[in-house]
Amino acid sequence: MLQRNSVRLAKHAVLVVLGFVMLYPLLWMVSSSFNEDTEIFRNVSLFPNAPTLQNYVHGWAGLSGVTFGRFFLNSFFIVALCVVGNLIACSMAGYAFARLDFALRRVWFAVMMVTLMLPFHVTVIPQYIVFNHLELVNTYWPLVLPKFLGVEGFFIFLMVQFMRNIPRELDEAALADGCGPVRIYWYLILPLSVPAIITTTIFTFIWTWNDYFSQLLYISNLHLYTVALALRQFVDTMGQTSWGALFAMSTLSLVPLFAVFLFFQRYLIEGIVAGGLKG
Amino acid sequence: MLKKKAAVASVSALAMLGLVAGAQVASATAMRHGAAKKATVTIRFTWWGDPVRNKVYNGVIQAFEKKYPNIIVNAEPTSWSDYWTKLSVQMAGGNAPDVIGMHQFYVTDYAKRGQLLDLTPYVKDGTINLHDFPKAVQDSGKVNGKLVMIAQGVTMSGQVYNKTLFQQMGVPLPKLNWTWDDFIKEATALKQAFTAHGMGNDHWGADDESGAMQPVFNYFVRQRGKNLFTKDGKLGFTFSDLKAWFTMWDNLRKKGVIPDAATAAQNSTASREQSLFVQGKVGITAIPANQIYLYQTDMPNQTLGLVGEPMLGNKSGAFVEGAYLAVPKSSKHPKEAATFINFFINDPNAGKIFKIEQGMPGSVKIDKIVKPLLTPTQQQEVAFIDNRLKLAGVAPNPPKGYSEVATLFTQTAQAIAFGQKSIDQACNDFLKQAEQILGK
């Protein structure tokens, strides 16, 4: 008994040390955000010499008179639209692939899977030209519109896999009760797909929140800047980098991610397990 | 039936949510357009910068809008590394801003593809006034005889040294016009002094600059009467130049005057705040003169000095560098863009705000207005550029593929430093691969 305990103790010690090593950069960032700018690279300790909130004040003041509050709102706005778009489009497409019978279904499914494998960078310039012709550059449309058109093959695939595992008998029962395809989708499939829906929500949230490249390309107006874009403005290799403000705002930008993760964590694991086991 | 209605209602409610949210984006856009309607023209202006620099640029824009109420300037700053990624997509998409910050490293790429507007007509009709620009500065904005960019600031490369460190170690200070022999002597003396003080382990005389094709090696080959690249975009130097260069640095490395390969490689990717020079671990490093105040801010307890790139005998090889403004061909308002550029470079108010943010003003007149407004560090910088400008010529702008060749150069330097290749073999490999890149 004693021996088993000591083995467990050793295991935990190793895990704690490893965890600390992995967390160190993050902890260092959080601690540096309370450090004075000039102290940041001289002080390797995790505890600031003279803790200050100056960085948060400076950082929140933002860029050229636009505060970080605005950038956070912008990010939330885009994220919310993307989540709604993905949920509507991907669940519908997933339902169609999983349940409905239409011409060339297998071919379309293959096409959808191919878009999943196509690197984003291949389509960057053609997409930019299209949105430029539509005069939608420098608005949120290029970031949001595609989500409503179901371009996220990954989530469609996730939905398809999940919905295929919902017993067909339920459909037949609904059919016998007089439901059409739309009502089956709405009353049967959607409520039973909640884990997949939540998984989609979380990942869309995280990916959109962290997305940088497409936001960089499409958004130039400072008032439309997102958190990711604004953060990057603090770093400039040709000039002065405001490390303190950067770390302070980076810390804040992690809060929503952290909150979403904490809140949905339970569902997230359920969703993946449910999808994975039966699929 | 009732249920069906409810379902339709909720689906359409979801769709509405999307539409309403979308409409918000649209109305935000409309608001901006509405503001633009009152004025006659809106132009877009992009540059690379950090928040501190952006404030300066915004100040210039405000001054411009005050003087020209019929032109509105939309600011679209990006940080240096993302700037070029974004610009290349915008250029390809035909949607680049009307006025763009330009740099020598990149100008040939854009000019050769015909994406930059020839500004000569606007100079001829007086929209852009270049009367107060020295010829070397004017010419530095030309590609194939076409004036595609205008200098907003001129700078020259130099070597910055840590005066405090030199004095503490009792080593005589580098002189403004020094030679490579002096450089080797000074750096060696400093290293010896470090060793004598028991600091020889992690202190070195000078930075390892062997991987810097631009600007230090460029100076080196120009002193030998050549250029990095010929006008038609081929390599301008030969095996013997390359070998002499790498041999010189390799000897310094073997004597421990410059950092060992691993330390140097680490230092080359470190941020300025964490570089060996700012930490006071090396005495000399190469910088563009306009960055000296950044180093001085990072090192408040040390005094810094600025000297020229080492010379070969009396040959300096100096050339004009700087930041420029250009107008893309796709611009719908080239006239207003030219007006803005002219204001930027010639208006005394703009000069007073911009000062020497990107180096010394191109216009001699503005230079005189700005000088009294500067801090001692900045005055040191301007005096240095002023002095060097007298020696300066124009180096051909780097050809397409430049950045690949520059990366290859750094890799070659590192292969030699780590002893992976002999100098002869490394030089041969470099020449072969560089020609392949440029021959594409």
Q: Positive or negative CA dihedral for B330, B331, B335, B340?
A: negative
Per-residue tokens: B308 = 């020229």
pLDDT range class, residue A97, cuts 50, 70, 90 = very high
- Mean pLDDT value across chain A: 87
pLDDT range class, residue A243, cuts 50, 70, 90 = confident
Of B335 and A238, the structure prediction assigns the larger pLDDT to B335
A144 pLDDT exceeds 50? yes
Task: List all residues 6 or more positions away from A23 whose beta carbon is below 8 Å from its beta carbon.
Answer: none
Of A123 and B329, the structure prediction assigns the larger pLDDT to B329
Stretch A146-159: mean pLDDT: 91
β-strand B157-162 against B304-307: which pairing, if any? antiparallel
Stretch A101-122: mean pLDDT: 89
Quick one: which of B10, B2, B48, B59 has its CA closest to B350?
Answer: B59
Quick one: which of A113, A57, A78 has its CA closest to B21?
Answer: A78
Of A44 and A139, the structure prediction assigns the larger pLDDT to A139
Task: Note the pLDDT of residue A237.
Answer: 63
Q: Which residue of B has its CA nearest to A238?
A: B80
One-letter amino acid of B110: Y
pLDDT range class, residue A1, cuts 50, 70, 90 = low
Stretch A102-119: mean pLDDT: 90
Stretch A210-230: mean pLDDT: 90
Angle between helices B423-439 and B239-254 (to 10 degrees): 140
Residues pairing with B229 in the sheet: B235
Structural contact between residues B132 and B363, judged by C-beta atoms closer than 8 angstroms: yes
Q: What is the dihedral of CA B330, B335, B339, B345, to 10 degrees?
A: 50
The per-residue pLDDT string of chain B (440 residues; one tens digit each, 9 = 90 and over) reads: 444 444 444 444 444 444 444 444 444 444 444 444 455 899 999 999 887 888 899 999 999 999 999 999 999 888 887 898 889 889 988 889 999 999 988 888 898 889 999 999 999 999 999 999 988 888 889 888 899 999 998 888 899 999 999 999 999 999 999 999 999 999 999 999 999 998 888 899 999 999 989 889 999 999 999 999 887 888 999 999 999 999 999 999 999 999 999 999 888 877 788 889 999 999 999 998 888 888 888 888 899 999 999 999 888 888 888 899 999 999 999 999 999 999 999 999 999 999 888 888 989 899 889 988 988 888 888 888 888 888 888 877 788 788 789 889 999 999 999 999 999 999 999 999 999 988 86
Q: Name the helix (H) or strand (E) containing B321.
A: strand B321-326
Structural contact between residues A143 and A215, judged by C-beta atoms closer than 8 angstroms: yes
Residues A31-43 have pLDDT tens digits of 888 888 777 777 6
Are A129 and B93 a contacting pair at CB < 8 A? yes
Are B80 and A236 a contacting pair at CB < 8 A? yes
Task: Note the pLDDT of residue B416.
Answer: 94
Quick one: which of B147, B100, B102 has its CA closest to B327?
Answer: B100
> What is the least distance, in Å, from the CA of A65 to any CA of chain B?
9
For the A58-278 domain, the top CATH level (class) is: mainly alpha
Of the candidates B54, B94, B274, the beta carbon closest to that of A132 is on B94
Stretch A56-78: mean pLDDT: 89
In Å, what is the CA distance from B248 to each residue of B195, B216, B225, B338? 21, 13, 19, 47
A44 pLDDT exceeds 80? no
Task: Note the pLDDT of residue B9.
Answer: 44
Quick one: which of B366, B336, B361 has its CA closest to B128?
Answer: B336
Q: Which of B32, B82, B87, B354 best probes binding to A when mutated, by most A CB atoms within 10 angstroms?
A: B82
Are A237 and B271 a contacting pair at CB < 8 A? yes
Task: Note the pLDDT of residue B358.
Answer: 87
Angle between helices A141-148 and A68-99 (to 10 degrees): 20
Q: Let me know if B41 is exposed, middle or buried by CB neighbors in 10 A (0-12, 13-18, 19+).
A: middle
Are B86 and A129 a contacting pair at CB < 8 A? no
Quick one: which of B369, B321, B361, B327 has its CA closest to B127?
Answer: B327
Task: Note the pLDDT of residue A232.
Answer: 85
Are B50 and A63 a contacting pair at CB < 8 A? no
Domain ranges of chain A: 58-278
Are A186 and B11 a contacting pair at CB < 8 A? yes
Stretch A128-142: mean pLDDT: 91
Angle at B96 between CA B95 and CA B98, to 5 degrees: 115
Distance, in Å, from the CA atom of B261 to the CA atom of B263, rounded to the nearest integer, reads 6
Stretch A252-258: mean pLDDT: 92
In Å, what is the CA distance from B45 to each residue of A140, A230, B98, B162, B331? 20, 18, 6, 38, 11
Of the candidates A85, A221, A223, the beta carbon closest to that of B18 is on A85
> What is the least distance, in Å, from the CA of A44 to any CA of chain B?
12
In Å, what is the CA distance from A210 to each residue of A227, A250, B394? 9, 11, 44
Domains located in chain B, CATH noted? 39-155+321-386 (3.40.190.10), 157-317+401-439 (3.40.190.10)
Are B18 and A84 a contacting pair at CB < 8 A? yes
| Helices within chain A (DSSP H only) | 2-32, 54-60, 68-99, 105-117, 120-133, 141-148, 153-164, 168-176, 181-183, 190-192, 194-210, 213-218, 227-233, 243-278
Task: Note the pLDDT of residue A220.
Answer: 86
A86 pLDDT exceeds 50? yes
